[in-house]
Amino acid sequence: MCSHTGTSRFPSIHILLFLVMLPAAFSFSRPQWILQRVPVVLPQQSESRPAPRFLSQARLNVSSACDPECHKTAPLPSYWDLEQFLAYETLHSDGRLTETAVGLYGYNLASNKSPAYSLAPSEKGQRSHTRRKRQIFGHDGRYSIAGHNFVLKYPFSVAVKLSTGCSGTLVGDRHVLTAAHCVHDGKNYVKGAQKLRVGFLKARQRDLRSPISNLSNHVESGPNVGPIVSEKMKFQWIRAKRTHVPKGWIKGNANDIGMDYDYALLELKKAHKRRHMKLGVSPPSQRLPGRRVHFSGFDNDRPGQLVYRFCQAGEETSDLLYQHCDAQPGASGSGVYARMWDGRRRRWERKVIGVFSGHQWVERQGASQEFNVAVRITPLKYAQICYWIKGNFVDCREG
């Protein structure tokens, strides 16, 4: 939970950059990515579907009456269920819509169990909240990333903006991972989904500002830090060629299972020529460094700015990760990532382990409970998304 009680608890610019860009030489422990053999999600036949209507506006928030306990105790899906959930629709830029059935191979149903979970220390005794209009928990712990030298530097450079108002993350030379609700409301594709565009921040003109600033001006500059020459930024847009959405989101949106499948992949019409972030199977939150997750997106209360945040992961189910990272609408679709040691390649690696879905609140016994929720990349979802990117399953066997 990213709550802060005083200005002294907010890191300085130097400390924040140290946390984000921390080189291997200064790391004192090595939490490791554990590569595992993942199953195969193989497309079968595809069929044409009626053209979408594109009538409704994209919802930047999603809601559910199902809380973590509800999701944790839900019946385990069968092979047939999973094949139905992982079947997918593809929306083409010319308006055509196809549906593709899938087959699952090498998957053990017994592995699809919700992990044991507990509240992070800072969340104990704070599960009940009154409903808020803003998804900020305590003081605002977000950081606006400004300046050409920072916005265009990895890992911030992988964050992109969708023309429907959401965010996304570069996960391939021409692929963007985002939330399904950014393009589909559970019943039909939203306005702008057919002519979907992806925006990349680029420099527009020189300006004087600090490289990182907090909304509440709580970030303290170091003693020798003055104004830094940076640039005002603008978006450069690339059209999406096709959009993949799992049927689990479309079929399950009315009965809460849809939240588990709130992810979509966009293929761009041309390569973006930026570094992208690799996919990773989401590890249990206890294995994350500091139990922290990170993500950057385009919150709609800070137009034209890239906003970065990190916080401790909280409860989790097999498909969802709950946390109290400060966020606003517009950040939906951001790639949630972690940084750990890759023993095989002998280097530190950031990987996308989830998709930020948005703010969830549920009413239980007259009290409101609030969470920010990310969809975890499970082995099956890794296999599916990787296939969408690579076009084959051979390159998708280890996550």
CATH of the domain at 81: 2.40.10.10
pLDDT at 1: 37
Which residue in 81, 256, 301, 342 is the catalytic one?
A: 256
299 is catalytic: no
User: pTM score, two decimals?
Assistant: 0.82
Cα-Cα-Cα-Cα torsion 194, 200, 203, 207, nearest 10 degrees, comes to: 90
* Residue 260 annotated among the catalytic residues of the structure: no
Residue 399 is predicted with a pLDDT of 78
- The 3-state DSSP composition of the chain as helix, strand, coil percent (nearest 5) reads 20, 35, 45
181 catalytically annotated? yes
If you search the block for the tokens 């094949």, which residue do you land on? 83
HSE toward the beta carbon, residue 246, CA cutoff 13 A = 32
Which one is catalytic: 71, 181, 184, 244?
Answer: 181
* C-alpha to C-alpha distance for 384 and 159, rounded to whole angstroms: 21
Residue 168's contacts (CB-CB under 8 Å, 6 or more residues apart) are 159, 160, 161, 162, 176, 177, 178, 182, 198, 266, 333, 334, 335
**Which run of H or E residues covers position 69?**
helix 68-72
pLDDT in tens, the chain (399 residues): 333 333 333 445 445 555 555 544 444 468 899 988 899 999 999 999 999 989 888 877 776 667 777 777 778 889 999 999 999 999 999 999 999 999 999 998 877 665 543 333 333 333 333 334 446 666 788 898 877 778 889 999 999 999 999 999 999 999 999 999 999 998 899 999 999 999 999 877 554 344 444 432 333 223 333 333 345 678 999 999 999 999 999 976 545 567 899 999 999 999 998 999 999 999 999 999 999 999 999 999 998 899 999 999 888 889 999 888 888 889 999 999 999 999 988 999 999 999 999 877 666 666 667 778 899 999 999 999 999 999 999 999 887
Phi and psi at 261, nearest 5°, equal -120, 35
Residue 123 lies in a domain: no
Token digits of residue 198: 């992806």
> How many structural domains are present in the chain?
1
Q: Supply 203's token pair.
A: 């420099």
Q: What is the reported pLDDT for 19?
A: 52
Which residue is catalytic, options 163, 213, 296, 332?
332
pLDDT at residue 203, rounded to an integer: 76
Q: How far apart are CA 342 and CA 345, in angstroms?
A: 6
User: For residue 124, is it within any domain?
Assistant: no
Instruction: Report if residue 121 sits inside a domain.
Output: no
How far is Cα 234 from Cα 153, in angstroms, rounded to an integer? 16
Q: Which domain holds residue 39?
A: 7-107+132-396
